[in-house]
Amino acid sequence: MAKILKAARMEDCIGCGLCELVASRVTKGKLSYSDSLIQIRKVKPGQPRFKAVIDYGQKTDYKEIRDICPANCFEIAEE
């Protein structure tokens, strides 16, 4: 089974966007939020809650992305 990055604990996300920035760096060697394999979005206005939209059409199991999260929201697990 292939391993993928999973947003397992998004209830702890503080919306810092470090994962988005690191993802673009490790996958594309550039800095971008909009062209990152992870997009962090608010669940809805008025709430400090976020969801992660992950592009699974590419390799995602980067430990750099998992490890950068200060709230430990990610894990790398089998599909």
Partner 1 sequence: MAHHPPTVLHLDLTNQSFEVRTHEDLAPWVGGLGWALALFEEYLEEDPIVFAIGPLSGIIPGCSKTIAVFRSPQNGFLTTALGGGHLARSLRFAGYQAVVIKGAAEKPVIINLDKEQALFKDGAYLMNKETGQVFDLLLSSEGVPGQRSVLATGLAAEQGITFSPLYIDEFFAFPRGGLGTAFSQRRLKGLVVSSSGEEDLGTLKQYEEIFSLLLSKVQGFEELERRGTLKNLEVERKISGVPFENLNEPNFEDQNQLVESLTSPARLSCDGCPVGCLHLVLHDKNYVPYDFESVVALGPLLGLTSKEEVVQLLSIAYRVGLDPTSLGVILAYLTEKEKLSFGDVETYLTLVDALLDGKEDWAKALGLGLDEGVKQLGGAEFALTLGGMEFLPYFNGYASILSQVLSLSATSEENRGFLLDLDLLKGELDPALVVTALVAEEKKKILSQLLIGCGYLSLVFEETATAFAALERVGAGVGHEELEDTVEKIFAQKLSLQKRSGFNPHHVKIPARFFSVPSPHGLLEEGKLRQMIKIYCENYFDAQP
Q: Which of residues 35-64 bind partner 1 (CB under 8 A)?
A: 35, 39-42, 45-48, 53
Distance CA(64)–CA(1), nearest Å, equals 21
Identify the three-state secondary structure at position 75: strand
Q: Does 16 bind partner 1 (CB under 8 A)?
A: yes
Shortest CB 78 distance to partner 1, Å = 27
Helix (H) / strand (E) containing 64: helix 63-68
What are the structure tokens assigned to 57, written together?
């059409």
30 in contact with partner 1 (CB under 8 A)? yes
User: Least distance from C-beta 6 to partner 1, angstroms?
Assistant: 19
